[in-house]
Amino acid sequence: MKKVYITGVPGIGKSTVAEELNKRGVFAFDIDFVEGLSAWRNKKTNEVVIGDVEYTAQWLAEHDWICNVEKLKEALKQDKEIIVAVGISANQAEYLDLFDKVFLLQCSEKTFLDRMAARKDGTAFGKSLVERQYVLNFYKDFEQKLVADGAIEVIVDNIISKIEKI
């Protein structure tokens, strides 16, 4: 079994890629949408945030989107030839070694900002200017670190063909 992780900034198209892979018979899931797998947590108390919140600059500075690594390990125990997980979390360095390959989706800044602003997939994050500025503040360092750690850079249009060749 091969395990693949696809990451990238919000609005880059990770969920869309997972949907397309599933249509083509490759088992894929988005860590944002698996019940109990990812959640906003307070940085100081580690408390899970429950309910709707307003993503102000101060709130975003005090919280991180965290993936539960133990639950992720369970989600990866599927009897499949290839398992693809897509997502982004503040703690992904803790679980990248669970995967055989890590792909970093990239596109222009304008494209992902426009996609975040126009989201219709049930994901509210990214619609406000504050949220988009939050992503702008971290995305370049985030991408550089992943590439330095060996992530494979992929332009959004090319990811499906790369996964199918694994």
- Whether the pLDDT of residue 56 is over 80: the answer is yes
Confidence tier at 164 by pLDDT (50, 70, 90) = low
Residue 159 reports pLDDT greater than 70: no
Mean pLDDT of 18-38: 92
* Residue 107, pLDDT score: 84
Give the separation between CA 82 and CA 86, rounded to whole angstroms: 13
- Looking at 3.40.50.2300, 3.30.70.260, 3.40.50.12160, 3.40.50.300, the CATH number of the domain 2-164 comes to 3.40.50.300
Q: What strands, in cross-sheet order, belong to the sheet with 2-7?
A: 27-30, 82-86, 2-7, 101-106, 152-155
Dihedral of alpha carbons 35, 146, 44, 135, sign: negative
pTM of the predicted protein model: 0.87
Hunting for tokens 């949408």 — which residue is that? 33
Q: What average pLDDT does range 1-20 have in this prediction?
A: 91
pLDDT, position 119:
76
Task: Give the pLDDT mean for 28-37.
Answer: 93
Structural domain boundaries of the chain?
A: 2-164
pLDDT of res. 157 = 58
Cα 109 to Cα 112: distance, rounded to the nearest angstrom? 6
Please name which of 31, 27, 53 lies closest in space to residue 42, comparing C-alpha atoms. Answer: 53
Q: Is it the case that residue 162 has pLDDT exceeding 80? A: no
Q: pLDDT per residue over 68-118, tens digit each? A: 999 999 999 989 999 999 999 999 999 999 999 999 998 888 888 888 888
How confident is the model over 115-153, as pLDDT tens digits? 888 877 566 777 788 989 988 899 899 999 989 988 988
DSSP for the chain reads: -EEEEEE-STTSSHHHHHHHHHHTT-EEEETTTSTTTEEEEETTT-PBP-S-----HHHHHHEEEEE-HHHHHHHT----SEEEEE---TTGGGTGGG-SEEEEEE--HHHHHHHHHT--SS--TT-SHHHHHHHHHHHHHHHHHHHHTTPEEEEGGGHHHHHHT-
